[in-house]
Amino acid sequence: MEHTTSLAELTAALDGAAEVADTEPMWPAQSWDPLRAAGVLGWSISTEYGGQDRPVSELLDGYAQLAAGCLTTSFILSQREAAVRRIADSANAALCRELLRPLACGGRYATVGLSQLTTSRQHGAPALRAELHADRLLLDGTIPWVTGAAQADHVVIGAALSDRRQVLAVLPTTYPGVEVGPPLPLMALQGSLTAELRCQGVELDRRWLLAGPAEQVMGGGRGPGGLETSCLALGLGRAAIAHLEREAVHRSELRPTAERLEQTRGKLWAVLLALATGSATGQAAALRARANSLVLRATQAALTASKGAGFLRGHPAQRWVRQACFFLVWSCPRPAADATLAYLAGDEERSSCGWRS
């Protein structure tokens, strides 16, 4: 299919609708439809299924640009991409054939509900329990966070068996016993329609199983969010820095701040690409903490420069500041959270542990 919209045009369209997408608990069709029309939903999917199979560096660059336009839309996309990766990386060829083509053209939307295996509710009993039988999987419990839940045809979910082994599966949202809660009242990104999903005696045929049972079914593979999370943080940071650069054209006192932030962002972007392409290893948590720090500082610098006008609803600076806080809680595993806390405590030494620049 021919796609004529450039990434710059798409980003500008997203930017125009970003305030509504952030503040209204409604599916952001005004952003999602152009994104689908521009072919973005095929970027990461194999050509075998009608996608474009783009290399990782191009994907990251695209995600970051979209995040600079509208974090809400790029976040929804990131959860869809996580679902696509779990399906594509599974050994379930039949599900790949069934799901990846409609996902590539946007005829279907899938998302993930995996955090109950990683970063959510780890201090109590498993939130979502599974029983595995010869022909089916029985699901009971709660999936605390599902972005785009009300819009989703499928959710890639993770559940724990009674022996603590885990499974990953695709859950069709129309199955009996599946209940999608109302959109959660969020500090930002309201259009993501993030909701709790409850499962009561849900019977899932084994053909929907993606992985497991295994002790750490998500271990070894890509963690939730991972580099994509840092990528979106750097994308949002870029939007704030670009605002400072525009202001600095007629307010030269802002130039040094814009330059220093952009220098840091450029360095972090280089590390992100090196990690993504395998030329560096093992520093994802340190990168994440630095990306968190950068996006918090850049967005607050944009607000400082925008003064009281930037504090008014509708001004992008207030939106960026609220959205930057999302990176403190989104898919932030213990090492990334520890490093971020060290930054917040002003402890540069500890926060950069394991970091080689």
Ligand X SMILES: Cc1cc2nc3c(=O)[nH]c(=O)nc-3n(C[C@H](O)[C@H](O)[C@H](O)COP(=O)(O)OP(=O)(O)OC[C@H]3O[C@@H](n4cnc5c(N)ncnc54)[C@H](O)[C@@H]3O)c2cc1C
- Could you list the residues that contact ligand X (CB under 6 A)? 79, 111-115, 119-123, 144-147, 186, 189, 192, 194, 329-331
Shortest spacing between CB 55 and ligand X, in angstroms: 25
**Residue whose CB is less far from ligand X, 122 or 200:** 122
**Residue whose CB is less far from ligand X, 31 or 192:** 192
Tell me whether the omega of the peptide bond preceding residue 213 falls within 30 degrees of 0, making it cis.
yes
Give, as one character, the DSSP assignment of residue 223: P
**Residue whose CB is less far from ligand X, 208 or 330:** 330
Shortest spacing between CB 125 and ligand X, in angstroms: 12
Give dist(CA 144, CA 211) in Å, integer.
21
**Residue whose CB is less far from ligand X, 77 or 209:** 77
Shortest spacing between CB 251 and ligand X, in angstroms: 34
Answer yes or no: are the C-beta atoms of 83 and 154 closer than 8 Å.
yes
Residue 31 CA neighbour count, 13 Å, CB half: 28
Kind and range of the H or E run holding 169: strand 166-172
What are the percentages of helix, strand and coil residues in the chain, rounded to 5? 55, 15, 30
Answer yes or no: are the C-beta atoms of 356 and 271 closer than 8 Å.
no
**Residue whose CB is less far from ligand X, 13 or 170:** 170
Shortest spacing between CB 320 and ligand X, in angstroms: 16
Give dist(CA 31, CA 15) in Å, integer.
9
Nearest-CA neighbor of 322 among 188, 147, 186? 188
**Residue whose CB is less far from ligand X, 29 or 187:** 187
Work out the widest C-alpha separation in the chain, in whole angstroms. 70
Nearest-CA neighbor of 112 among 166, 73, 76? 76
**Residue whose CB is less far from ligand X, 105 or 186:** 186
Shortest spacing between CB 76 and ligand X, in angstroms: 9
Shortest spacing between CB 184 and ligand X, in angstroms: 7
Give dist(CA 335, CA 206) in Å, integer.
35
Taken in order 39, 88, 56, 19, the sign of the CA dihedral is positive
Nearest-CA neighbor of 227 among 117, 71, 125, 81? 81
**Residue whose CB is less far from ligand X, 186 or 242:** 186
Q: Provide the CA 204 distance to its chain's centre, in angstroms.
A: 26
Shortest spacing between CB 211 and ligand X, in angstroms: 15
Shortest spacing between CB 1 and ligand X, in angstroms: 28
Nearest-CA neighbor of 142 among 175, 167, 113, 165? 113
> 341: which 2 tokens?
């806390």
**Residue whose CB is less far from ligand X, 42 or 226:** 226
Shortest spacing between CB 224 and ligand X, in angstroms: 6
